[in-house]
């Protein structure tokens, strides 16, 4: 494929940014990729492993002259980062992000950006429980979805160009309205993560009085909860605080479903349990048929690296 952006700036150098870099280099989609991370240690690691063509010590330097700026920082600090880089953005540049909440990002980032740049929020639905610059790999986005959330007045050509980049990286791309995005992600990602954190927390309490048997004898179900609950704590703290209403709505519905299952178990209602589990099993089959996972014992997750 040919170059889509001559210069791309990655602000924040964790799993998503590093995977974007390796994926862009794999297909030659960017002429030059610059990077910045707040931590000195992260910047040094990035330089050591060859992540980005040039890693700068300030966000302002990294975005100078960039045709595309990708905010890969926790959603709770995106507004401040946008304010910091705004005076240094190239006229006509596109600013996007990879946060898993969209309404809050639009409200916090949009007001800081000058009118002569294009703001197109985005969210790649891909990740692992690992974080940091060394966790990225080029195949992370292959056949995964990336949701673009154009704001009012978004330039169509700029949106299509960003879509072309994500498709070149390997993603399927769909456009979605911000509030609908946040509700969908509350169902598919945010509430499940909170439930996983809760289950692992309960098990940790139990392990303290059972000589850590919960850890020693973990079955596959609990191991999956621990994998999810190992995700970056700063990122997920910000996600829940930024998508409060949608997450609370889905957790309310989850609580109602849980009470119904408790009642079925208490009363011995096997028909209710069997029907419920049959319906949820069909959802799992649908995910596999959609190509978003496999039925392999390792859940389709293979160790990869740049």
pLDDT of 216: 72
pLDDT at 190: 84
Fold agreement between 5-176 and 180-268? no
For the structural domain made of 5-176, what CATH number should be given?
A: 3.40.50.720
- Is residue 76 within 8 A of residue 242, CB to CB? The reply is yes
DSSP 151: P
**Is residue 141 classed exposed, middle or buried when 0-12, 13-18 and 19+ CB atoms within 10 A define those classes?**
buried
DSSP tally for the chain: helices H, then strands E:
13, 9
Predicted confidence at residue 306, as pLDDT, reads 40
Start-to-end CA span in the chain (Å): 19
Token pair recorded at residue 234? 């700063």
Grouping H, G, I as helix, E, B as strand and the rest as coil, residue 68 is: strand
| Order of strands, sheet of 118-119, starting from the edge strand that comes earlier in the sequence | 54-55, 30-36, 5-11, 68-71, 94-97, 118-119
- Is the overall model pTM greater than 0.85, yes or no? no
Return d(Cα 290, Cα 303) in angstroms, integer.
22
pLDDT value of residue 304: 43
> In the chain, where are the structural domains located?
5-176, 180-268
CATH code of the domain occupying 180-268: 1.10.3660.10
Question: Cα–Cα–Cα angle for 184, 188, 192, nearest 5°?
Answer: 130
Q: DSSP string spanning 69-120?
A: EEE-S-GGGHHHHHHHHGGGPPTT-EEEE--S--HHHHHHHGGGS-TTSEE-
Length of the chain: 306
CA 53, 56, 60, 61 dihedral sign is negative
Cα–Cα distances in angstroms (integers) from residue 199 to residues 124, 186, 269, in the given order = 26, 18, 25
Average pLDDT, the chain: 89
The shares of helix, strand and coil residues in the chain, as percent rounded to the nearest 5, are 55, 10, 30
Q: Cβ of 188: how many Cβ atoms within 10 Å? A: 14
Q: Helix (H, G, I), strand (E, B), or coil: what is residue 154?
A: coil
Q: What is the pLDDT along the chain (306 residues), one digit of tens a residue?
A: 799 999 999 999 999 999 999 999 999 999 999 999 999 999 999 999 999 999 999 999 999 999 999 999 999 999 999 999 999 999 999 999 999 999 999 999 999 999 999 999 999 998 877 889 999 999 999 999 999 999 998 999 999 999 999 999 999 999 999 999 999 988 888 888 888 888 888 877 776 666 567 667 666 677 778 777 887 888 888 888 888 888 898 889 889 999 999 999 999 999 999 998 898 888 888 877 777 776 665 544 444 444
Closest to 195 in 3D by CA, of 242, 228, 231: 228
């Amino acid at each position: 494929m040919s170059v889509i952006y001559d210069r791309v700036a990655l602000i924040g150098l964790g799993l998503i940014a590093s995977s974007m870099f390796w994926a862009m280099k794999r297909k030659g989609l960017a002429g030059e990729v610059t990077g910045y991370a707040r931590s000195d240690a992260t910047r040094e690691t990035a330089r050591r492993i060859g992540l980005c063509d040039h890693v700068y010590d300030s966000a302002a330097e990294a975005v100078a002259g960039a045709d595309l700026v990708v905010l890969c920082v926790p959603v709770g600090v995106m507004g401040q980062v946008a304010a910091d880089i705004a005076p240094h953005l190239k006229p006509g540049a596109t600013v996007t992000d990879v946060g898993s909440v969209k309404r809050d990002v639009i409200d916090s980032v949009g007001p800081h950006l000058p009118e002569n740049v294009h703001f197109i929020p985005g969210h790649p639905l891909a990740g692992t429980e690992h974080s940091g610059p060394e966790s990225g790999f080029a195949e992370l986005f292959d056949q995964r979805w990336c949701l673009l959330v154009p704001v009012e007045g978004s330039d169509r050509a700029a949106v299509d160009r960003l879509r072309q980049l994500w498709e070149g990286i390997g993603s399927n791309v769909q456009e979605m309205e911000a509030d609908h995005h946040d509700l969908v992600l509350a169902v598919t990602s945010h509430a499940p993560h909170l439930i996983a954190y809760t289950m692992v927390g309960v098990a940790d309490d139990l392990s303290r009085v059972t000589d850590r048997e919960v850890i020693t004898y973990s079955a596959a179900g609990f191991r999956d909860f621990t994998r999810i609950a190992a995700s970056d704590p700063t990122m997920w703290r910000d996600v829940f605080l930024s998508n409060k209403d949608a997450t609370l709505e889905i957790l309310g519905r989850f609580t109602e479903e849980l009470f119904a299952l408790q009642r079925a178990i208490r009363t011995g209602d096997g028909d209710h349990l069997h029907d419920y589990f049959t319906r949820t099993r069909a959802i799992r089959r649908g995910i596999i048929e959609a190509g978003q996972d496999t039925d392999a014992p390792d859940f389709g997750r293979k160790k990869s690296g740049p």
